[in-house]
Amino acid sequence: DVKVTQSSRYLVKRTGEKVFLECVQDMDHENMFWYRQDPGLGLRLIYFSYDVKMKEKGDIPEGYSVSREKKERFSLILESASTNQTSMYLCASRDADSYQETQYFGPGTRLLVL
Partner 1 sequence: KNEVEQSPQNLTAQEGEFITINCSYSVGISALHWLQQHPGGGIVSLFMLSSGKKKHGRLIATINIQEKHSSLHITASHPRDSAVYICAVKVRSGGSNYKLTFGKGTLLTVNP
Residues that bind partner 1 (CB under 8 A): 9, 33, 40-45, 48, 50, 56, 58, 88, 90, 92, 97, 99-100, 102-108, 110
Q: Which is nearer to partner 1, 79 or 101 (CB)?
A: 101
Residues contacting residue 99 through CB under 8 Å, at least 6 positions apart: none
Q: Whole-number minimum distance, CB 14 to partner 1, in Å? A: 23
Q: Which amino acid is at 27?
A: M
For residue 46, which phi and psi values (nearest 5 degrees)?
-95, -60
Q: Which is nearer to partner 1, 6 or 75 (CB)?
A: 6
The neighbour count for residue 100, using CB atoms within 10 Å, is 5
Q: Whole-number minimum distance, CB 16 to partner 1, in Å? A: 26
Q: Which is nearer to partner 1, 66 or 90 (CB)?
A: 90
Q: Where are the alpha helices (DSSP H) in the chain?
A: none
